[in-house]
Amino acid sequence: MAPGHSFEFAEIRISGERVLRPNLPVVLTGPMGSFRATMLLDTGADISMVGLPLARALGLDLSTRDRVFGVSGSTPVFRTSVLLEVLVPTGRTPALKIPLWVPTKAGLPPEPILGREVFFQENEVSFDMGRGAKGRFTVTHRPRRTP
């Protein structure tokens, strides 16, 4: 297996409480260019999601509309895809074409989300919260098997 890339959890405060988040530095590429972003690595999300301004800046195809359902109800979205590379100390991981939902409502999602579809199929992800420290998470690319 390929060597893994380790990242420290990002510490944020929500209502005064310490929260550790697995934020991943990435490059997203669409027809109109590439942008660096930080995405929340979300093991509970099926599909990845970015806001409408970023999708438009990337020049993503926003012609397919749909509605998605989650714990907080439903919201209209555009279904599209984007190329994603993870930024690692030695450069970038191989690009993956990942499916993407883009909410039509401004302010959603509150931060870009990297869901399981494609990313977790191509990578092994492990979490180590540690004791009293920020902890780390590791992303290891799985080489494709040849028949």
pLDDT on residue 27: 98
* 59 occurs within a structural domain: yes
| Domain contains 70 | yes
Q: Residue 74: is its pLDDT beyond 70?
A: yes
pLDDT, tens only, 40-67: 999 999 999 999 999 999 999 999 999 9
pLDDT for 146: 54
Q: Is residue 78 part of a domain?
A: yes
Give the residue-averaged pLDDT of 108-120: 95
In a domain, 118, yes or no: yes
pLDDT at 72: 75
Query: How much is the pLDDT for 8?
Result: 92
pLDDT at 78 over 90: yes
Domain boundaries, position 35: 5-141
d(CA 128, CA 119): 19
Is residue 104, in this structure, part of any structural domain at all?
A: yes
- The chain-wide mean pLDDT, for the chain, equals 91
pTM: 0.90
What is the model's pLDDT at position 67? 93
Predicted confidence (pLDDT) at residue 89 exceeds the cutoff of 60 = yes
Residue 79 · residue 59 · CB < 8 Å: no
**Smallest Cα–Cα separation from 46: which of 97, 108, 120, 144?**
120
Phi, psi (deg, nearest 5) at residue 57: -60, -35
CATH number at residue 132: 2.40.70.10
Task: State how many domains the chain has.
Answer: 1
106 — pLDDT class (breaks 50, 70, 90)? confident
Residue 32 lies in a domain: yes
- pLDDT for 147 equals 56
Structural contact between residues 135 and 128, judged by C-beta atoms closer than 8 angstroms: yes
pLDDT computed for residue 144 by the predictor: 66
